[in-house]
Amino acid sequence: MRAILKSGKIINGRLAEIFASRGIAREIKEEEVTEVKDIEVTDETKEVIEKPKRVRRTKEQINADKK
């Protein structure tokens, strides 16, 4: 037996049977498994925003900030 989770992952075996019976996943037939979903390829690249690295402070700098 095969089932598909809400996230889209396909599971098989006893887990699929248990999840399908409890309503967590839905059972899929063999016909649905043979279909391949088309994946769209995009040339756009997402810019990654990098956080600045944390700078270590010396004891003198910490004590100066306290005063």
User: Does a structural domain hold residue 54?
Assistant: no
pLDDT of residue 60: 93
Domain ranges, residue 2: 1-35
User: Does a structural domain hold residue 30?
Assistant: yes
Confidence label for 67 from pLDDT (cuts 50, 70 and 90): confident
pLDDT of residue 1: 84
- pLDDT reading at 2 higher than 70: yes
User: Does a structural domain hold residue 27?
Assistant: yes
User: Does a structural domain hold residue 8?
Assistant: yes
Task: Residue 24: count other Cβ atoms within 10 Å of its Cβ.
Answer: 14
User: Does a structural domain hold residue 31?
Assistant: yes
